[in-house]
């Protein structure tokens, strides 16, 4: 307990840093995965290719990816860019499948009705398909958010600061309270982001307010993060 | 020429320990999978068969995902993170079965135990293997981090090389690790196919092959009925 009282400043600082590092990969992952997911849903050829590529990307262990990327792209190993790119890749890998599932879950009859009403192309996408895929997209995004927050801690092993520092430092100095604080803060950030996403979902998709449990259930079937 | 250096290191005598490390890594993975399965599969089947405790299972799966694997570096950590994937596989495997099939089995006079063993487990097997596949991926990654304490497995050389800036060792070992993960995933993908019961496979022949992983049902869409 003493440790927490004496290190409040460090905990707050690392928590804010952790939160800041989490946001960009989640947002970028979502924005990149939507068009990819649409492509994966729309054409059989792209579906096969895209879903294979994302599942292989998802297979790559996090520490290996953090080391592999600087080798390929050439930016420094110890940089926020490295962590952001790696976590965006995981976010895209998770989210593309969700997005493809989301667009597939839009009722074909509704799509045809929209076409009959004169919607086409992008207009139909933004006015009909995207909102109706919303609950499944949200379920996917929640998984992405939580797994991103948890994966950021891995960065500390190559020297990128985050709440993960509390784990390595606590393990080296055998301060159990420090490790536990790290775990609790990471879970807390994940929970806050998750609640926030649910709230945004309720505001943007008022028609789902009665059916949120159904959307939540989809979450169970999405692969877990590693 | 980072990659050339990495390969040069991999094929040099310095990397002689790598095969042993691969075996170690695989051993960690299989032990963790075995122990988690022994805990998670019975619970998952119980939830799937009785339908009780479903909300708890769904809620826990979200919470477990948030747990940072690095913070939980113990063998326990491997178990916590994998258990959920396996439990979800066991549970959703039973959940995906057409209720009419189970009702039909009951109408034939099968006992609950017979229904579970002869109907639900075989039909839910592909999804269970899918859960094991996710869990395996997770363990391979987590076992790498666990090397921070044990220095065993493929994580050892990577973590030992980071302070010394030995990119050749880091990258070379990482490549081996990535190949190991992809190979393991491929084995489980194959098992997922083999796990489809013969009757179901026959039925599907000729028809378009169905996806093994569950799709969101209509209840997951906005236009579906709000009753759950």
Tell me the per-residue pLDDT of B153-191, one tens digit each, with 9 for 90 and over. Answer: 888 888 888 888 788 888 888 888 888 988 998 898 899
Query: What sign has the CA pseudo-torsion B171, B176, B182, B188?
Result: negative
Q: How far is B198 from chain A (nearest CA, A)?
A: 24
CB distance A156 to A167 below 8 Å: yes
* B220 contacts A105? CB cut-off 8 A: yes
* B137 contacts A223? CB cut-off 8 A: yes
- A77 CA to centre of own chain: 22
Q: How far is B200 from chain A (nearest CA, A)?
A: 21
Look at A144-148, A216-220, B47-51, B196-200 and tell me which has the smallest mean pLDDT.
A216-220
Q: How far is A101 from chain B (nearest CA, A)?
A: 7
pLDDT at B226: 38
Distance from C-alpha of B154 to C-alpha of B185, rounded to nearest angstrom: 17
Look at B12-21, B53-62, B91-100, B192-201 and tell me which has the smallest mean pLDDT.
B53-62
Is A53 a residue whose pLDDT tops 70?
A: yes
Q: What is the mean pLDDT of chain B?
A: 77
Tell me how far apart the terminal alpha carbons of chain B are, to the nearest angstrom: 57
Contact list in A for residue B159 (CB cut-off 8 A) is: 157
Distance from C-alpha of A28 to C-alpha of A94, rounded to nearest angstrom: 13
- pLDDT for A159-208, tens place per residue? 888 888 888 888 788 888 888 888 888 889 989 999 999 999 989 888 87
pLDDT at A180: 84
A-contacting residues of B 93-152, CB under 8 Å? Answer: 134-135, 137-142, 144-145, 148-149
Residue of chain B whose Cα is closest to the Cα of A139? B220
Of A80, A101, A70, nearest to B170 by C-alpha is A70
Residue of chain A whose Cα is closest to the Cα of B170? A67
Is B63 a residue whose pLDDT tops 70?
A: no
Is B206 a residue whose pLDDT tops 70?
A: no
The pTM (predicted TM-score) of the whole model is 0.77
Distance from C-alpha of A186 to C-alpha of A178, rounded to nearest angstrom: 12
**ipTM more than 0.90?**
no
pLDDT at A226: 44
pLDDT at A88: 93
pLDDT at A25: 93
- Number of A to B CB contacts under 8 A, please give it: 200
Greatest mean pLDDT among A18-27, A53-62, B32-41 lies in: A18-27
Give the burial class of A118: count Cβ atoms within 10 A of its Cβ; 0-12 exposed, 13-18 middle, 19 or more buried.
exposed
Greatest mean pLDDT among A25-34, B190-199, B212-221 lies in: A25-34
- pLDDT for A206-224, tens place per residue? 887 765 555 555 544 444 4
Distance from C-alpha of B85 to C-alpha of B83, rounded to nearest angstrom: 6
pLDDT at A26: 94
- pLDDT for A121-130, tens place per residue? 888 888 888 8
Mutation for A interface: B2, B33, B61, B68, most A CBs within 10 A: B68
CB distance B163 to B38 below 8 Å: no
Categorize the per-residue pLDDT at B227 as very low, low, confident or very high, splitting at 50, 70 and 90. very low
CB distance A223 to B214 below 8 Å: no
pLDDT at B64: 64
Distance from C-alpha of B151 to C-alpha of A184, rounded to nearest angstrom: 26
Look at A16-25, B151-160, B181-190, B198-207 and tell me which has the smallest mean pLDDT.
B198-207
Categorize the per-residue pLDDT at B72 as very low, low, confident or very high, splitting at 50, 70 and 90. low
Average pLDDT over residues B39-52: 83
Which pair of tokens denotes residue B32?
A: 């963790």
Is A114 a residue whose pLDDT tops 60?
A: yes
- Residue B215, chain A, CB below 8 Å: the answer is yes
Q: CB count, 10 Å around CB of A46?
A: 15
Is A24 a residue whose pLDDT tops 90?
A: yes
pLDDT at A31: 93
Exposure of B99 in the CB half-sphere (CA atoms within 13 A): 2
Q: How far is A118 from chain B (nearest CA, A)?
A: 20
């Amino acid at each position: 307990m003493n440790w927490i009282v004496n290190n409040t400043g460090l905990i707050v600082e690392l928590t804010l840093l952790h939160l800041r590092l989490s946001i960009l990969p989640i947002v970028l992952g979502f924005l990149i995965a939507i068009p990819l997911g649409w492509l994966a849903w729309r054409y059989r050829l792209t579906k096969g290719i895209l879903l294979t590529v994302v599942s292989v990307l998802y297979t790559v262990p996090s520490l290996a990816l953090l080391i592999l990327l600087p080798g390929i792209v050439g930016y420094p190993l110890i940089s926020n860019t490295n962590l952001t790119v790696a976590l965006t890749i995981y976010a895209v890998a998770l989210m593309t499948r969700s997005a493809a599932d989301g667009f597939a879950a839009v009722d074909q009859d509704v799509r045809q009705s929209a076409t009959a009403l004169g919607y086409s192309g992008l207009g139909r996408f933004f006015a009909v398909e995207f909102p109706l895929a919303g609950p499944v997209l949200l379920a996917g995004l929640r998984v992405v958010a939580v797994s991103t927050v948890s994966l950021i801690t891995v960065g500390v092993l190559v020297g990128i600061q985050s709440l993960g520092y509390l784990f390595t430092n606590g393990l080296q100095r055998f301060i159990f309270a420090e490790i536990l604080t790290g775990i609790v803060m990471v879970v807390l950030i994940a929970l806050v982001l998750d609640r926030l996403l649910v709230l945004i979902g309720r505001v943007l998709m008022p028609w789902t307010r009665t059916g949120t449990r159904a959307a939540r259930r989809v979450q169970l079937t999405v692969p877990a993060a590693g | 020429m980072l990659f050339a250096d990495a390969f040069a290191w991999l094929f040099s005598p310095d990397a002689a320990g790598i095969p042993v490390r691969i075996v170690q890594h695989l051993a960690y993975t299989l032990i963790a999978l075995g122990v988690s399965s022994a805990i998670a599969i019975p619970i998952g089947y119980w939830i799937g068969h009785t339908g009780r405790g479903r909300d708890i299972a769904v809620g826990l799966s979200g919470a477990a995902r948030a747990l940072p694997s690095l913070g939980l570096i113990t063998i326990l950590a491997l178990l916590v993170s994998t258990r959920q994937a396996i439990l979800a596989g066991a549970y959703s495997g039973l959940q995906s079965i057409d209720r009419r099939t189970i009702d039909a089995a009951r109408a034939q006079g099968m006992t609950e135990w017979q229904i579970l063993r002869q109907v639900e487990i075989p039909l839910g097997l592909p999804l269970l293997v899918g859960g094991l596949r996710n869990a395996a991926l997770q363990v391979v990654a987590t076992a790498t981090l666990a090397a921070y304490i044990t220095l065993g497995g493929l994580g050892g050389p990577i973590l030992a090389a980071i302070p010394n800036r030995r990119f050749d060792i880091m990258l070379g070992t990482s490549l081996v690790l990535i190949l190991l993960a992809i190979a393991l995933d491929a084995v489980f993908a194959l098992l997922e196919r083999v796990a489809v019961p013969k009757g179901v496979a026959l039925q599907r022949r000729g028809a378009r092959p169905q996806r093994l992983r569950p799709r969101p049902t209509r209840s997951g869409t906005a236009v579906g009925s709000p009753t759950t």
